[in-house]
Structure 1
């Protein structure tokens, strides 16, 4: 399969990743919301794709430069695509939801998201590389920040002080 680093989705994905990294440095809570949206949006995309066209995921075996990834994708993964993608979707939803919390759940989600993004990087253009590394950097930036409240709590404060 031919790779196209000039395709619109590839370019947009990498622009969004760069924007998210910059925002995560400047406004960590907005960065968390963006990353949450990215994870939950990816979960929705993956769930829909696995339901409608599961064999599309076999293209990742052709796109990766990793022999190990290729053998897994074209081997056990190919026989149970919907199961593996369903697990992946749950993982992505949980990471996306818990990024909006604070404390240990948030930090765990940031670590889990970083591991996931580093794990998909070897898919190459199939993961819109280098976007996963840029997004993982965003999460690492956020892990190092002191975040004292969840997005849910922050929204509650805004609503409470909203003029009636």
Structure 2
């Protein structure tokens, strides 16, 4: 059997540690954090898209650890709209991933969508590695505050990226 309690708790601990690291890296290494979220949400969109098309009923398992309101929804109305609902989530995840490449307002919008996404799935509980999704939301908030307003592939503007500082000689100083 693939699943065991040791595997579950090890994965749970690693995921939460990774998202604690993203909180720190969102300030100190925002590009690394952006790349991580690009890969994470891109993978999640692919995984959820292929899973919901192949076996949509697996999403009802999330009711096992969800708060009562979410459990009621997952076992009730959600059973009739699993595919369209998860496909909508797939589109949102893909857009969040895409915005990690961008800059300006689109990048900030992607961060806010990632923040809302993390908080929205937090009530799923253990199966969403709670509190990892809340930590992810905090990392997205810090990331949109600390980004350098460049595309992910652009070099960060600074003294090494382009123009040199003019040299001042005693004859060019103005008092």
Interval of TM-score (by shorter of Structure 1 and Structure 2): 0.7 to 0.9
Greater shift, 131-140 or 74-83, is seen at 74-83
Match of 1:49 in 2: 51
SS at match of 1:144: helix
Q: Which sections of structure 1, spanning at least 5 residues, go unmatched? A: 156-164
Structure 1, residues 52-104: CA drift from partner, whole Å, max 9, x if none?
22111101112112x22112111121112111110000000001111220001
RMSD value, Cα: 2.0
Distance change in 2, residues 1:55/1:84 (3 Å): same
| Residue in structure 1 matching 2:35, options 33, 36, 49 | 33
Task: Please state if 1:60 is matched with 2:62.
Answer: yes
Larger-gyration structure (1/2): 2
Kindly report which structure 2 residues correspond to 1:133-152, keeping only aligned pairs within 5 A, or say none: 133-152=134-153
Runs of 4+ aligned residues of structure 1 deviating over 6 Å after TM superposition are none
State the alpha-carbon separation in 2 of the partners of residues 19 and 127 from structure 1.
17
Give the structure with the higher percent helix. 1
TM-score of the two chains, using structure 2 as the length reference: 0.79
How far apart are residue 23 of structure 1 and its match? 1.7
State the alpha-carbon separation in 2 of the partners of residues 15 and 44 from structure 1.
24
Q: How many residues align?
A: 152
Task: Please state if 1:115 is matched with 2:99.
Answer: no
Could you tell me whether the CA contact under 8 Å between 2:16 and 2:129 is conserved in 1? Answer: yes
SS at match of 1:77: helix
SS at match of 2:102: coil
Q: Which sections of structure 2, spanning at least 5 residues, go unmatched? A: 157-175
State the alpha-carbon separation in 2 of the partners of residues 72 and 154 from structure 1.
46
Greater shift, 13-22 or 92-101, is seen at 13-22
